[in-house]
Structure 1
Amino acid sequence: MMVILGVIILLILVAIGVSFFIAADHQTKIYEELEYENCELSNEQAEQIRQAKRNFSKPYTNMIITATVLCILSAVPLLCGVFFTKMLNGSQMDHLMTGLVAGTLVLVAIGVFFFIKSNITMDSYNILLQTDDYTPKKKNGRRIMNKYAAVYWLTATMLYLGYSFLTNNWEHSWIIWPIAGILYGIIEKVLSLKNNDIAPE
C-alpha cells in the first residue's frame, strides 16, 4: 500500500514539474535561437553587456562556492545516521533515515538551484557576447548536436518508462537517467574531438 502511495505522490510531483518545464519552455522559446544563431550587437550594447558580466563575476563565484559546499555537505545527514544504528529499533531507524534522506535532498536541491541560476545568467552573457562556449563556430556545432540530443533523450525516456512499467521496478529504474547522462557526455566528447566545430556543453 505504501509503495502504491509513494508512486502516486511521485507521479503527482512529476506532473507538477513537467507543467513548470512546459511553461518555462514556452516563455523562453523566443530567445532559444540566440543560442544557435549569431548575435549582432552595437558597440554600445556589447560594452553594456560586458560591464554587466563583470558586475556579476563576484556573485557568480559566491553562488558556485555555495552550491559546491552544499553538495559536499549533503552527505552529512546520512552519515549522522550511523551514530543511531545501535540506539534505535528497526521502525525508529526507518523513520530517522527517511528524515535524514529528506535533509540530504534539500541540501542537494539548494545547491543545484545555485548551480543552475548562476550558470544560466553567465551563459546568457556569453551567448550575447559570443564568447567561451558560444563562439559562432560552437553555436553552429550546438545546432547540430541539438538535433541528435532530442532523439537521444526521447529514446532514454522511452526506455525508462518501458522498463519501469513492464517490470514495476520503479525503485531501481531511476539508474537509467545517470547512465544516460554519462553516456551522452561521452558521445558528445567523442563528436567534439572528431569535429572541432562541436563543443561539449
Structure 2
Amino acid sequence: METIIGYLNNMFAALPRTSQMLKLKQDLLASMEEKYYELKNDGKTENEAVGIVISEFGNIDELISELGIGQNYGEELLPFLSEDEAEGFVAAKKRTGLLIGFGVALCLIGTALLILFTTLAEEGSLGVSEDFGSMLGIISLTVLIVPAIGMFIYSGMKMEPYKHLQDGFQLTYQLKSYLQQKQKAFAPTYTLSLIMGVGLCVLSPIGMFVGSAFDGNVSTYGAAIMLLVVALAVFLLVYYGQIRESYTILLTTKEVTKAKKEEDRVIGAVAAIVWPLATCIFLISGLMFQQWQINWIVFPITGILFGMFSAVYNILKVKNNS
C-alpha cells in the first residue's frame, strides 16, 4: 500500500494544490485502497495487487480532464499542515481547555464561597456582622474571578499562532490517518467525561432540594454545594471538549467561509452579553433579595435560551444562503 501512496503523491506533485485537487486525491486514494485490500483478500500477491490498482486508476490526467477540474490555476493554494504543527495545535487546545475549564470552575467556586460566607454570617457562625460576612464573600469571589479572567485572556493568546488554520489547509494521507487514530483512541475518554459532566449537572441540585425539605438555611448550603459540583462538571466538559474539538478542526480541512466567521462573531457577541447579565441577575437576587435557594435556575434557563438562539440563528442563516 505504501507503493500506491507514493505513486499517487508523485502523480499529484506537479498539479496545483487546490481544494478540488485535494478532494480528488483523497477520493482516489480511498478507492485505490479499497481495491487493493479487495485484491489481497482474493489471494493476489503484493506486487500483483499494486500493479492492478495502478493500471486501473493510474491515468490521473484523463480523470482530471473528464471531471473538468484543476484548470483554474489561479485558485488559492492550500498549504500542507506539518505533523509538528498538528501536534502543537492539539497541545495548545489541551492547555487552553485546562485554563478555560479551571477559570470557569474558579468563578463558580467563588460564587459558592459568597453564598457560604453570607449564610454563615447570617447564622452567627462566623462571629461577624452580616455586612462583614457579605463583604468577605464578595472579596473571596473577586480574588477567584481575577485569576480566572487572566486565564481566559492567556488561553486566547496561546491560540493566536494557530489562527491561520481558519484559512484552510491540507493534510497528507499519513498525517490524516494518524490523527484519525488519535481521535478514535480519545473517543472513549471523551464519552466518559461527557457522561460524568452531564450526570453531575443533573444531580447537582439534589442536595439543595433535600435541604429545603428540612430548613431554609440548609437549602442555601445545598446551593453552595451545587455550584461546587457544577464547577467540577464544567471543568470536565470544557477540558475534554477542547481536546475533541482540536481533532475535529484538524480533520475538517475545508476553508472557513465568511458566512461561518460571521455566524461565530454574532453568537460570540451575544454570549459576551448574555452570560455576564445572567451572573449579575444571580448575584443581585441573592445579595439583595436573599433568593439563593431558587436563583440558581437563572443559569440553566440562560443556557437553554442561548442554545435556542444559536440554533434559530443557524437555521435562518442557512435558509438565507440557500
What is the TM-score of this pair, normalised by structure 1? 0.70
Trace 1:160-199 onto structure 2 (pairs within 5 A): 169=284, 171=286, 182-196=304-318
Counterpart of 1:16 in structure 2 is 147
What residue number does 2:50 align with? none
Report % sequence identity: 24
Q: Secondary structure at the match of 1:136?
A: coil
Matched residues in 1 for 2:303 and 2:199: separation? 23
Distance 2:242 2:301 in 1: 24
Provide, for residues 132-191 of structure 1, a one-character-per-residue CA deviation record: whole Å limited to 9, x for no partner. xxx737x32431123324543455578679x88xxx936389988767655544443233
Contact 2:197–2:236 (CA<8 Å) still a contact in 1?
A: yes
**CA displacement at 1:47 relative to structure 2:** 0.5
- Identify the residue that residue 182 of structure 2 maps to in structure 1: 52
Name the counterpart of 1:28.
159
Return the offset for 1:23.
Answer: 1.6
**Contact kept in structure 2, 1:156 and 1:177, CA below 8 Å:** no
CA–CA distance in structure 1, aligned partners of residues 151 and 267 of structure 2: 21
Classify 1:46/1:197 alpha carbon distance in 2 versus 1 (closer, same or farther; 3 Å): farther
**How far off is 1:79 after superposition?**
2.3
Structure 1 gaps of 5+ residues are 86-92
Measure, in 2, the Cα distance between the counterparts of 1:101 and 1:74.
Answer: 9
- 1:107 equivalenced with 2:233 (yes/no): no
CA shift for structure 1 position 113: 1.5
Are the structure 2 counterparts of residues 177 and 121 from structure 1 closer, same or farther at C-alpha, using a change threshold of 3 Å? same
Change (3 A) 1:176 1:31: farther
Equivalent residue for 1:66, pick from 196, 216, 223: 196
- Alpha-carbon contact 1:156-1:176 (below 8 Å) kept: no
**Which of 204, 208, 220 is the equivalent residue of 1:78?**
208
The residue identity in structure 2 corresponding to 1:107 is V
Letter in 1 for 2:139: I
Mapped partners of 2:184, 2:171: distance in 1: 18
> What is the match of residue 116 of structure 1?
238
Larger-Rg structure: 2
Contact preservation (8 Å) 2:197, 2:233? yes
Change over 3 Å in CA distance of 1:56–1:155 after alignment to 2? closer
Q: Which has the higher contact order (CA 8 A, sep 6+)?
A: 1
- Provide the rounded CA distance (Å) in 1 between the counterparts of 2:239 and 2:306: 23
Partner of 2:264: 146
SS in 2 for 1:122: helix
Distance 1:109 1:16 in 2: 16
Provide the C-alpha distance between the structure 2 equivalents of 1:43 and 1:21, rounded to a whole number of angstroms. 35
Deviations 1:96-150 (A, max 9, x none): 34432232122211111221122211111110000xxxx737x324311233245
- 2: CA distance, partners of 1:186 / 1:72: 20
1:127 aligns with 2:246: no
In structure 2, how many angstroms separate the alpha carbons of the residues matched to 1:46 and 1:179? 40
* Change over 3 Å in CA distance of 1:68–1:154 after alignment to 2: closer
Q: Deviations over 1:23-43 (max 9, x none)?
A: 211112222443x33231111
Q: Which amino acid aligns with 1:146?
A: D
Task: Verify the 8 A CA contact 1:160 1:176 in the aligned structure 2.
Answer: yes
> Displaced runs of 4+ in structure 1, greater than 4 A?
153-161, 172-184
TM-score normalised by length of structure 2: 0.47
Q: Kindly report the root-mean-square deviation, in angstroms, between the aligned alpha carbons of the 2 structures.
A: 3.4
Is the partner of 1:195 in helix, strand or coil?
Answer: helix
